[in-house]
Amino acid sequence: MSKVDYVYARDLESVYELKKYWFENAEFFMDTSYFAYDRKSVDEKNIRQKYIIVNVNKNGEQFLDDIIQDVKYYLDEWYKVLYVPIAKWKTGEYSDTYYLKKIKTACKKDDKFEILDWEENFWKFAEKLANAEIVISTRLHLFLISNFLWVRTKVYPYQKKILKMQEVVRNINTMND
């Protein structure tokens, strides 16, 4: 830290910890996903469509049974599932499509699942997010972008960073109310 002039942290806990150890040049800065999409162009009262968006990664595997139950609930209510594979280039259990296969097998409704590619056209992806009934995810940035688009989210926090960002989002939402 002696070589660092300034720290921008995406949670207040980190800022407080740095200041506790006499590093005064620390400041909160919202996670960059907050700036990924012009939220002013999205109406917070978007008409929800009959689909949910889901993503699971290796780190969230411990929650897979709960996520499968969430997905089954929405499938029973006639929702379609749009699955967002973030880590597509990896293999085995490190590929997000590995968990798509597990969820589809458990739900036994292959025809109700589609891939939603975030890389093909990010703006189109963001519009789909904005109209989802709910986003169920284990990934921090999918949770954040969805939340910033006023979409109900259910995140399975496998790391402390997700819990910290949930608190940041709660504080932002409280300030905006």
User: Residue for token digits 């929800």?
Assistant: 48
Per-residue model confidence (pLDDT) at position 2: 73
Is the predicted pLDDT of residue 135 greater than 90, yes or no?
yes
Same domain, yes or no: 103 and 171: yes
Residue from 86, 54, 83, 58 nearest 70 by CA: 54
Counting the structural domains of the chain, the total is 2
Under the banding of pLDDT at 50, 70 and 90, the label for residue 20 is: confident
In this structure, what CATH number is given to the domain that contains residue 97? 3.40.50
Total number of residues shown for the chain: 177
Same domain, yes or no: 157 and 72: yes
Same domain, yes or no: 24 and 62: no
Same domain, yes or no: 141 and 163: yes
Averaged pLDDT for residues 101-127: 93
- The dihedral through the CA atoms of 89, 94, 98, 103 has a sign that is negative
Same domain, yes or no: 142 and 73: yes
Same domain, yes or no: 102 and 15: no
Averaged pLDDT for residues 74-82: 97
State the residue range of the domain holding 58: 39-176
Residue 92 Rama label (left phi>0; alpha psi -120 to 50; beta): left
Question: Which tokens is 168 given?
Answer: 């940041």
Quick one: CA torsion of 166, 112, 118, 9, rounded to 10 degrees? Answer: 10
Q: pLDDT higher for 167 or 79?
A: 79
Q: What gap in Å lies between CA 93 and CA 99, rounded to an integer?
A: 7
